[in-house]
């Protein structure tokens, strides 16, 4: 067996703290140095206040915020590319209802890839990858919404070219034109979910394309990774917490009992943000706005003592998944679509990382520490026990 001195490097469980890539896309240290978030040098607080998802996606894919003309052209391209193949709609009709929503999205993206006019472009063709990424951003939202309509026993709706990316998704998913505040809140959540450096799904995407595979394969790998409840499924689990509590009258007792019994409460803590997730702080304000708009403050009253006590007693502030669970409920969205929404926002960030990887590629091939038995001779089969 190899000794520690012969190993290729230090063992870091879960790769925590390992720097495997250089990136110009996202900075999680920011100006504070204690856990901030910037997309290509712009603080998330500033982006949240001033830009739409379309602008954030353009920034991630093209490297700079668009001017008015560039945004108009980009937005026009997205709107013109929202339609998904009829063959995919037919397939969605036949996928079992009990299939996991992320499995359905994984399949949908694979099907969409077959109809991409540049599917066979060289994997390192930067311009082609950007064009494919734009189509992926546009069509992923349509595929997710179509599945939701079919699950509700209704026909998928055609995209509405008069609506923004956020407004159109809400319309296609719910069948109702959203209010301005609903559209703004959903758009904001997409901006905040769009990118987050080298998380598990992004790393999976970069590993996949480091073999010179294509952008669709990288996105599908990312979707499969995001499916796990330790990554993308946390917003669904956060909603289950609120439902389990059930009533504001139960909240104080429930959280004290949960803390005493060391119950895991999803939606709190973050491996990077130790002093609080800036995205959660931004969305908390919009949870209150939408709760007031629909006249349903029950969930805010349940969430408040849980957030207060987990932060005070466990020093775990809420992460972005805690407020989004309530935000999406206020919009009339079903729980099963929460993680696909994460994905339809994150495809912009995944694509940016895939393009960056392919622009300056090196095959990712880490090593493992061997912990099995030492070198053993092979015995004749009659001597084996």
Write down the pLDDT at residue 1. 40
Q: Could you tell me the two tokens for 253?
A: 């007792």
**In a 3-state reduction of DSSP, which class is residue 38?**
strand
Write the Ramachandran bin of 319: left for phi over 0, alpha for psi from -120 to 50, otherwise beta.
beta
Paired residues of 271 in beta bridges: none
Mark whether 77 and 50 lie in a shared domain: yes
Residue pair 258/307 in contact (Cβ under 8 Å)? The answer is: no
In a domain, 219, yes or no: yes
What are the E-state strand segments in the chain?
A: 26-27, 38-39, 42-43
Rounded Cα gap, residues 57 and 133, in angstroms = 10
Question: In this structure, is residue 56 part of a structural domain?
Answer: yes
Tell me if 112 is assigned to some domain: yes
Backbone angles phi, psi at 40, to 5 degrees: 45, 40
- Angstrom distance (rounded) from CA 351 to CA 137: 9
* Within-domain flag for 5: no
101 and 206 part of one domain: yes
On whether both 315 and 349 belong to a single domain, the answer is no
At 219 the pLDDT is: 98
Residue whose structure tokens are 């998944």: 321
Residue 270: CATH number of its domain: 1.10.230.10
Count Cβ neighbours within 10 Å for each residue of 276-311 and write b for 16 or more, e otherwise. bbbbbbbbbebbeebbeeeeeeebbebbebbbebbe
User: Where would I find the H helices in 35-125?
Assistant: 44-50, 53-62, 68-80, 86-94, 101-114
Distances (CA, A) of 13 to 10, 88, 274, 369: 10, 40, 19, 10
**100 is a domain residue:** yes
Number of domains in the chain: 2
* CA separation for the pair 137, 348 (Å, rounded): 6
Give yes or no: residues 254 and 200 share one domain: no
Residue 288 in any domain: the answer is yes
- Supply the pTM of this predicted model: 0.93
Nearest to 265 by CA among 302, 306, 304, 296: 306
Q: Does any domain span residue 373? A: no
Q: Are residues 290 and 202 in the same domain?
A: no
Containing domain of residue 325, as a range? 234-330
For residues 41 and 89, give the distance between their C-alpha atoms in angstroms, rounded to a whole number: 39
Give the span between the Cα atoms of 279 and 45, in whole angstroms: 8
Catalytic residues: 270, 321
33 with 164, same domain: the answer is: yes
CATH of the domain at 106: 1.10.580.10
The label of the residue with tokens 């598990």 reads 200
Query: Cβ of 173: how many Cβ atoms within 10 Å?
Result: 28
Residue 384 domain flag: no
Mean pLDDT by groups of 10 residues along the chain of 385 residues: 54 81 88 73 96 98 98 98 98 97 98 96 97 98 98 97 98 96 98 95 97 98 92 88 95 95 89 83 96 96 96 93 96 96 98 98 92 94 94
Q: Which residues contact 221 (CB under 8 A, 6 or more apart)?
A: 204, 205, 207, 208
């Amino acid at each position: 067996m190899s000794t520690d001195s012969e190993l290729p490097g230090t063992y870091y469980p879960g790769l925590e703290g390992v720097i495997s890539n250089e990136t110009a896309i996202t900075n999680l240290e920011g100006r504070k140095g204690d856990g901030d978030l910037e997309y290509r040098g712009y603080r998330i607080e500033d982006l949240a206040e001033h830009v739409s998802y379309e602008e954030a996606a353009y920034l991630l894919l093209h490297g700079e915020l668009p001017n008015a003309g560039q945004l108009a052209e980009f937005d026009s391209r997205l709107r013109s590319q929202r339609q998904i193949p009829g063959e995919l709609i037919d397939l969605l009709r036949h996928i079992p209802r009990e299939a996991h929503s992320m499995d359905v999205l994984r399949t949908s993206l694979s099907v969409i890839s077959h109809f991409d006019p540049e599917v066979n472009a060289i994997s390192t063709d930067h311009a082609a990858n950007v064009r494919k990424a734009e189509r992926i951003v546009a069509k992923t939202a349509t595929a997710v919404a179509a599945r939701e309509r079919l699950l509700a026993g209704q026909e998928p709706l055609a995209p509405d070219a008069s609506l923004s990316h956020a407004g159109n998704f809400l319309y296609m998913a719910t069948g109702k034109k959203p209010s301005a505040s609903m559209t703004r809140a959903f758009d904001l959540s997409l901006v905040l979910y769009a990118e987050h450096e080298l998380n598990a799904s992004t790393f999976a995407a970069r590993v996949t394309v480091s073999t010179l595979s294509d952008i669709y394969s990288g996105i599908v790998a990312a979707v499969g990774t995001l499916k796990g409840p330790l990554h993308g499924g946390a917003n669904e689990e956060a909603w289950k917490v609120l439902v389990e509590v059930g009533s504001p009258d139960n909240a104080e007792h429930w959280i004290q009992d949960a803390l005493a019994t060391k119950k895991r409460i999803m939606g709190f803590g973050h491996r990077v943000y130790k002093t609080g997730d800036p995205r959660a702080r931004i969305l908390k304000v919009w949870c209150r706005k939408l709760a007031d708009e629909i006249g349903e403050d029950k969930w805010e009253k349940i969430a408040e003592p849980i957030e207060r006590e987990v932060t005070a007693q466990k020093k775990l502030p809420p992460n972005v998944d805690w407020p989004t669970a309530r935000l999406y409920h206020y919009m009339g969205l079903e729980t099963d679509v929460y993680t696909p929404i994460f994905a339809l926002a994150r495809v912009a960030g995944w694509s940016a990382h895939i393009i960056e990887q392919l622009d300056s590629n090196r095959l990712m091939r880490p090593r493992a520490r061997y912990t099995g038995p030492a070198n053993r001779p092979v015995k004749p089969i009659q001597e084996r026990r």
